[in-house]
Amino acid sequence: MTPVPDVTDVVVVGSGVAGLSTALGLAATRDVVLIGAGDGSTPWAQGGVSAAYGDDDPLDHAHDTQVAGAGFCDPRNVRALVEEGPQRLAELIAHGARFDRNGDGSLSRTLEGGHSRPRIVHAGGDATGAEVHRALLTAVQRTSVHMMTGRTVGLLQSESGSVVGVLVETGAEVVRIEARAVVLATGGIGNAYLASTNPSTVRGDGIALALRAGASLVDMEFVQFHPTALHTGETAGQLPLVTEAVRGEGAVLRDVDGRRIMAGRHPRADLAPRDVVARAIEATMRRDGSDHVWLDATAVAPDVLRKRFPTVLASCARIGVDLLSEQIPVAPAEHFLCGGVRTDRNGATDVPGLYAVGEVAATGVHGANRLASNSLLEGLVFGRRVATALTLDLPAKDLGHVRELMLGDDRQPERIRTILSKYAGIRRDGAGLNAAADELDSVGTGPLATVARAVVVAATARQDSRGCHWRSDYPQADERWDRHTVVRLDQDDRPTTRQVQTDLV
Ligand SMILES: Cc1cc2nc3c(=O)[nH]c(=O)nc-3n(C[C@H](O)[C@H](O)[C@H](O)COP(=O)(O)OP(=O)(O)OC[C@H]3O[C@@H](n4cnc5c(N)ncnc54)[C@H](O)[C@@H]3O)c2cc1C
């Protein structure tokens, strides 16, 4: 293996679907260093990749995306997502990804919450993310991309404000790599909450790095909670997911007394968009004083469950429950960040030389609530878009004095997680959010503290409810809030908000 260079064209931070897609798209034209700090969410993805092709219409996919996003999506970027998606999926297959197929050889497509028709392509039953990750990683390994393991702990910034490189911690060493462009592909913020479906590597470093460099965040209040994490009895750390596709096959949610939760609440019942289902479960648990509800798949044919959901079955077996023959305990958990670092549709942030892609970025495709299985797709589509943009034009080399912007450390990570989980979960209100802000005052300015404050200031500012932001003191969507919440750092390095009326970019 050749040593990682200390000067390169592009550094990509993060080796999930978004970072790998970006690196792969750049490999033929640019020198690339790809840095990862362990597996992020990508290999854990279960349900699949949504793609409208054949007898399905990308415009129907766009419509479903916008309905789930509570009308808060950027329509041009949604169009790019749904129209470019099938082509990216075909390329992934050409790179060797093996998706599940029907007897006649066609791709097997399933239904998930919020989709008007079956358009979710999956692999290994419910092991789609692992296959997407494997195929992309193998493809990148065949290129000249330099891969490196380490945590990016800082950015290099020129006097004129351009981002011109990174600082990477590898063991006891901190390595400096200069680059004409830095692409953040660091995933979401799961580790800022006590319980999440995300692995512990997903801790919002990219959000904190971007803020430190002077970039804006947008829509940080829209944190998606997955309705059905397996209730293992653990209240912290990564919880196993029970994919929505189980409900797509016919499973239903029941309260502790066995009554259907979603019947009559939404025209799509158990397959309503995630925010609707998560809120219904939260309300049911609060009413019943319970820490879980039941998911009942006993009416689904055991063969279907065995074939489609081996990962879920294995997770259930680990806690001694059997999806085939009994109800399993589930509860909502933090899952996905719909907002993030504000970018244009080619990943450019408002800081020269700094780009963002994948879950860390906010292109507006998810609006106020992400449609199921649109996230792997986002990584594939927007990873390629960033790569295309940086192939056509690299930012000019910025010479002169360079300063180091460091992430710093969190002294009280557990306290931060507790505060965020208590006050900025599925249900929020002004009094709680003010208490969160007060409590976060004394936790320093490390990355998790910065992420938590960004969520809290955005959630405090938005005095209405839409998508996955639900304020019990402002329970309705209010057209006065048809605007995006932008977060930046103030002079004391504290996140602060303003609202913008216009489109995202
Ligand atoms: C359990 C689960 C199931 C899901 N199911 C689906 C699904 O079926 N369909 C779908 O579309 N989406 C699904 N999602 C969401 C989807 O998996 C993620 O949104 C998507 O994979 C994010 O990809 P990413 O490349 O942006 O980030 P990630 O895959 O999270 O990768 C982040 C990368 O950044 C690296 N990193 C982070 N910080 C640093 C740092 N400081 N320095 C260096 N590297 C760093 C990590 O090591 C990792 O390599 C699921 C998510 C989870 C958790």
Give the mutation target among 115, 145, 186 for probing the ligand 1 site: most ligand atoms within 8 A of CB.
186
CB burial of 431-446 (b: ≥16 within 10 Å; e: otherwise) equals ebbeebbebbeebebb
Q: What is the C-alpha separation between 375 and 48, in angstroms, rounded?
A: 9
The overall average pLDDT reported for the chain is 95
- Residue 505 pLDDT greater than 50, yes or no: no
Tell me yes or no: is domain 228-332 CATH 3.40.47.10.
no
Assess whether the C-beta atom of 210 lies below 6 angstroms from ligand 1.
Answer: no
Domain limits of the chain?
Answer: 7-188+336-392, 228-332
Q: Looking at residues 30-46, what average pLDDT do you find?
A: 97
Q: Ligand 1 in contact with 376 (CB < 6 A)?
A: yes
Per-residue confidence (pLDDT) for residue 297, from 0 to 100: 98
205 lines ligand 1 (CB under 6 A): yes
Pocket test of ligand 1: the residue of 13, 22, 41, 166 to mutate, having most ligand atoms within 8 Å of its CB, is 41
479 token code pair: 């057209």
What are the tens digits of pLDDT across the range 156-204? 999 999 999 999 999 889 999 999 999 999 999 999 999 999 999 999 9
User: Class assignment of domain 7-188+336-392?
Assistant: alpha beta
Query: Which listed residue (274, 385, 462, 471) is catalytic?
Result: 274
Closest ligand 1 atom number to CA of residue 42: 21
Q: Which atom of ligand 1 is nearest to the CA of 46?
A: 8
User: How far does residue 189's CA lie from ligand 1's centre (Å)?
Assistant: 10
pLDDT cut 90: percent of the chain above it: 91
Integer CA distances (angstroms), 470 to 113, 193, 195, 423, 474, in order: 19, 17, 19, 12, 8
Closest CA to 64 of 85, 46, 43: 85
Gap between the Cα atoms of 285 and 260, Å rounded = 13
For 490, list phi and psi in degrees, rounded to 5: -90, -175
The answer to whether residues 273 and 67 touch, using CB atoms and an 8 Å cutoff, is yes
Residue 274 bears catalytic tag: yes
- Does the beta carbon of 42 lie inside 6 Å of ligand 1? yes
Q: Give the residue from 333, 323, 309, 155 showing the smallest Cα distance to 236.
A: 333
Q: Per-residue pLDDT tens for 127-166?
A: 999 999 999 999 999 999 999 999 999 999 999 999 999 9
For residue 327, report the distance from its CA to the centre of ligand 1, in Å: 29
504 pLDDT higher than 50: no
Least confident of 298-302, 400-404, 411-415, 426-430: 400-404
Joined together, the tokens standing for residue 458 give 């955005």
